[in-house]
Amino acid sequence: MDTASVDVAHAGMTGVAEYEAAFAHRRLRRDAFWRTIPAYADVDADTFHSHLFQARNSPTSLEGLREVLGGLVGPDFCEDLREGLSRAPMSIRISPYILSLIDWDDPYGDPLRTQFLPLASQQLPDHPELYLDSLNEQGDSPVPGLTHRYPDRALFLTLDTCPVYCRFCTRSYAVGLDTDGVEKVRLSANRKRWSLVFDYLRSRPEVEDVVVSGGDVYNLRAAQIREVGETLLDIPHIRRFRFATKGPAVMPGKILSDREWVDALVNVVNRGRRMHKEVVMHTHFNHPGEITGVTQDAMELLMERGVTVRNQAVLQRGVNDDPLTMRILVKRLSYLNIQPYYVFFHDLVQGVEDLRTTLRAGLEIEKSLRGATAGFNTPTFIVDTLGGGGKRDGHSYEHYDEETGIAVFASPTVRPGEHFLYFDPIDCLAPDIRQRWEDSEERQSMMEEALARAG
């Protein structure tokens, strides 16, 4: 529908601003936005969006980034980034698509830049209770690259590379290249490791649901999509699985240009349907600015070919932690028939304390969102508790002390009888409490008190 032709009065709206806000989610960019980037100034649309161009032209170093951006960034920004990278657990890799959607007139405030390029001037000290694998995924791994935490489902890390590297990645212990601070666990896409995973899954009849993740399945070859998909479909007790990929958010053009990959996916989905098993795609959009006309074309193709897509976003300070941005994101995803499944409170990850929000801030955004659209398109706001308690609805805390920023959760299905913690970012607390967090004994006593209050 052409929004310009809607009669504001008949739509039940009183003012232009309200009208603008109501339709903002439908305004998708279809301009040649990449042409403002010096290196892409002469690239036509088909070439730019093809997966080969995107993959071959993704900068993986500061020098590479500088070459692409030319005069768009100054020496101060580059120095800030160089220092930021030296403290980050993730190496750099960013797609031309995302790079071109960043507003280079304001790189410091841009929500897309914020997710992929760390700036030392914005980094905060890590939370004192942070550990590298804070969700204890490796502790719950019966075989390398398979986490079995919930009774009926398992998480299969098929590979350890992605089309881009997000600086906030929860799996920074394994994903991407080694950095100054982190030597990674290797989880490469190899048959031998996979066969141990498949053997384990065959031996556990209670597993009905598998998350096929990574890394990112966008980086699996078509033959590998087929192999993983067919093998899982052939395990009788597995009733559903999801292919998890950030791909649609960072290079949607692959869905339109990589016929072989999409055909492999669709064939698995179709065979699954004939076997009465559900195979879907889960993706990861965090900001409405990641969604363009090309995303729409890609999602329409997947819809026509019968692939259901759901989204798992991460709540991030300065990216999507205000009610209007989150509402536009959720409405825009829904408009493209991507179901907004979860919004995650930010995990405790090295080097990204500046991205985390308080539990309270997220719960307020949830409150402002619920009712704005259909219930099945309204995400649940999830805390993945520290130490492997699993995912909990943010509202379901047993105790939450906003002063110390400590929340306590129970997890009856995963580890009955135990309590699990989540922490607000230290810089959001009052100065005297921040002082207490500096001291390890004070820290211990605050946590013990919170656990005692939780009962």
Ligand X SMILES: *Cc1c(COP(=O)(O)O)cnc(C)c1O
Which of 149, 254, 277, 331 does the annotation list as catalytic?
149
173 a catalytic residue: no
Under the binding rule (CB under 6 A), the answer on residue 155 touching ligand X is yes
Binding part of the chain for ligand SF4, among 80-88, 193-201, 213-221, 404-412 by CB under 6 A, reads 213-221
Identified binder of ligand SF4 from the candidate list 156, 165, 243, 400, rule CB under 6 A = 165
Under the binding rule (CB under 6 A), the answer on residue 153 touching ligand X is yes
Under the binding rule (CB under 6 A), the answer on residue 92 touching ligand SF4 is no
Under the binding rule (CB under 6 A), the answer on residue 411 touching ligand X is no
Measure Cα distances from 132 to 172, 181, 358 in Å. Answer: 8, 11, 20
CB of 415 to ligand X, least distance (A): 13
User: Closer to ligand X at the Cβ: 70 or 139?
Assistant: 139
Residue nearest to ligand X (CB): 155
Residue 104: which of ligand SF4, ligand X, none does it interact with, CB under 5 to 8 A by kind? none
204 a catalytic residue: no
User: Closer to ligand SF4 at the Cβ: 298 or 429?
Assistant: 298
Kindly state the number of chain residues that form the binding site for ligand SF4, as judged by CB under 6 A: 10
Under the binding rule (CB under 6 A), the answer on residue 309 touching ligand SF4 is no
CB of 341 to ligand X, least distance (A): 7
Of residues 362 through 401, those in contact with ligand X by CB under 6 A are 391
From CA 382, how far away is CA 328, in angstroms rounded? Answer: 19
CB of 243 to ligand SF4, least distance (A): 13
Binding part of the chain for ligand X, among 14-22, 146-154, 198-206, 328-336 by CB under 6 A, reads 146-154
User: Closer to ligand X at the Cβ: 213 or 325?
Assistant: 213
Identified binder of ligand X from the candidate list 150, 335, 339, 368, rule CB under 6 A = 150
Binding part of the chain for ligand X, among 16-24, 66-74, 145-153, 429-437 by CB under 6 A, reads 145-153
